[in-house]
Amino acid sequence: MIIVYPVHKLLHFLPIAHLGPKIRKRIERKFMFFPSIQIKAHEPISKHLFLIALLLPFVTLTVILVSLCFILPHYVHYIAILLAYQTGISVPDLVRALNILKAPKHAYIEENEDGFEILVSNQ
């Protein structure tokens, strides 16, 4: 159960890792051993890339855990707990994704202290 959160955050980071200095990464330790990982885009990135980064952990981990339910039927109850935990930490991502889907097609997304801003070019 402890490994789900870091894997979730790593999957958020993978699609935007190539952006380098546009992304801020910070890792803090909570309760002496539990990592708190923060990833923020402090410069605008495209809507599609932001959506991929938001939804990749939910889709990937859900597919893996549901597949494990069929592969390891004796452990379905444990896998269901992991699936519920993973879905719970994905809810804010899903809410953000729904808000971003309503943005114009060629918008850019920038995160700030209050949440995120949707930037639209006039071109």
Q: Where are the domains of the chain?
A: 4-112
Sign of CA dihedral 106, 39, 2, 89: negative
pLDDT at 33: 66
pLDDT at 70: 96
pLDDT at 105: 80
Length of the chain measured in residues: 123
pLDDT at 35: 67
pLDDT at 20: 76
For the entire predicted model, the pTM comes to: 0.80
pLDDT at 123: 62
- With a cut of 50, list the residues of the chain below it in pLDDT: none
CB 6, CB 33: distance < 8 Å: no
